Amino acid sequence: MILKHFKQILLPVDVRIHRNALENISKAVSRYDLKNVVIVTGILTNKIAGIDVEKLLTGSGKCMTNKFIVKTASREAAKKIEQEIRGDFGDYDAVVGVGGGKILDVAKVVAYHSNSLLINVPTNAAHDGIASPLASFKEKGMPISIKAASPISIIADLDIIRKSPVRLLRSGYGDLVSNLVEVKDWLLGVQKIDEDYDEIVASISTMPAMLLLRSAEDLDFRDFDYLKLLVRGLILGGLAITMYGTSRPVSGSAHKFSHALDYLRYGKGTHGEQVGIGTIIMEYLHQHYYGKGDWELIKYSLEKILAPTTAREIGVTKEQMIEALVHAKNIRPSRYTILEDQNPSRKDFEICLEKTGITK
Ligand SMILES: [Zn+2]
């Protein structure tokens, strides 16, 4: 039995990232023989795309839909939908998530627990959760991450995503560019503690960010070509998680820093904004200790799209920044990163924050 040595993974079979992509959803009815579909959406995202998705699915007369509008995305919200469906709707074949990351997380959990197909229709591109098999929620103020379904199909309509708040697109870029430093951390784990490595997965994680950095000069997500590169990169990031089986290819020291800010409840940055600033810091440290990286180019690209590059912009003081950086080592200590390898002191962090202009 040689098969036992291989990893079996579930990858989507239909991924569309272009303008007017939404109409492709109607083809899902015959492609997957859908008769009963649950739509999970939010109040606003229902107006943006949920109503259209419903029309497109029911248009042929072969498919019925049951729509749930989620007010607050949580595990509880997912459980409520699961219970209601069980009560009066009978069997259903697919869950279609229409919304931002949080709504898609609820859809992922409902699909996972009901063992049904998942189709994701993202209405923004704020992080790499669009295609990942993990759902993140906040419980008692703390972020938690749980296993969930992988989508069979992703319909990313660029006309819809382009209209989403620009802050979310900037955040998406922050999350994407972090992959460069997170994979550098992974390589430290490979060299120092003999971790497994997968060059293909690492490439899937980092190449989209490299491509965007190469044209940092012209970066603008109002432009459909760049927007497509961003959305594709974030979807590939999620697939890297699926392929590797953990978030290792997209989450290291920059994410530990962001989680530390969340844990300490400092500031008001989004995930991607915090991770973007974390990337400047960790890239600086990689350059400082190992001579690898280009923190100035990363900072320049974030400035170019008007994403925050200073602590002040995300509402964090210099002292809080240092505290979060010191605390970051306590987040998931088994994940080896530059923080574990070099154990930088408060003074080291202070110098880094000054030199990178993050605290002025
Ligand atoms: Zn992330």
Place of tokens 């991450």: 145
Ligand 1 centroid–CA 255 distance in Å is 6
Ligand 1 centroid–CA 179 distance in Å is 9
Looking at the fold, whether 175 and 319 belong to one and the same domain comes out as: yes
Query: How many structural domains comprise the chain?
Result: 2
What the block records as the tokens of 349 is 């962090």
Ligand 1 centroid–CA 96 distance in Å is 23
Does residue 3 lie within any of the structural domains?
Answer: no
d(CA 352, CA 282): 9
Ligand 1 centroid–CA 34 distance in Å is 32
Q: Domain holding 107: CATH number?
A: 3.40.50.1970
Looking at the fold, whether 302 and 345 belong to one and the same domain comes out as: yes
Q: Which residues of the chain have pLDDT under 50?
A: none
The pLDDT value recorded for residue 87 is: 63
Looking at the fold, whether 125 and 244 belong to one and the same domain comes out as: no
Ligand 1 centroid–CA 344 distance in Å is 23
Ligand 1 centroid–CA 257 distance in Å is 11
Ligand 1 centroid–CA 176 distance in Å is 8
Q: Of 67, 68, 64, whose CA–CA distance to 36 is shortest?
A: 64
Over residues 297-310, the pLDDT tens digits come to: 999 999 999 999 99
What the block records as the tokens of 40 is 């999970």
The pLDDT value recorded for residue 179 is: 98
Alpha helices in 194-343 (DSSP H): 199-214, 224-244, 253-264, 271-290, 295-304, 318-327, 338-342
d(CA 311, CA 179): 21
Ligand 1 centroid–CA 185 distance in Å is 15
Q: Domain holding 321: CATH number?
A: 1.20.1090.10
d(CA 178, CA 275): 7
Ligand 1 centroid–CA 175 distance in Å is 5
The pLDDT value recorded for residue 297 is: 98
The pLDDT value recorded for residue 88 is: 55
The pLDDT value recorded for residue 2 is: 87
Looking at the fold, whether 210 and 277 belong to one and the same domain comes out as: yes
The pLDDT value recorded for residue 164 is: 97
Ligand 1 centroid–CA 116 distance in Å is 26
Do the bridges between strand 14-18 and strand 64-70 make them parallel or antiparallel, or are there none, so unpaired? unpaired
Looking at the fold, whether 201 and 345 belong to one and the same domain comes out as: yes
Ligand 1 centroid–CA 222 distance in Å is 22
pTM for this predicted structure? 0.95
Q: Of 10, 212, 11, whose CA–CA distance to 125 is shortest?
A: 212
Looking at the fold, whether 57 and 202 belong to one and the same domain comes out as: no
Ligand 1 centroid–CA 251 distance in Å is 6
Does residue 2 lie within any of the structural domains?
Answer: no
Domain that holds residue 84: 8-162
The pLDDT value recorded for residue 36 is: 93
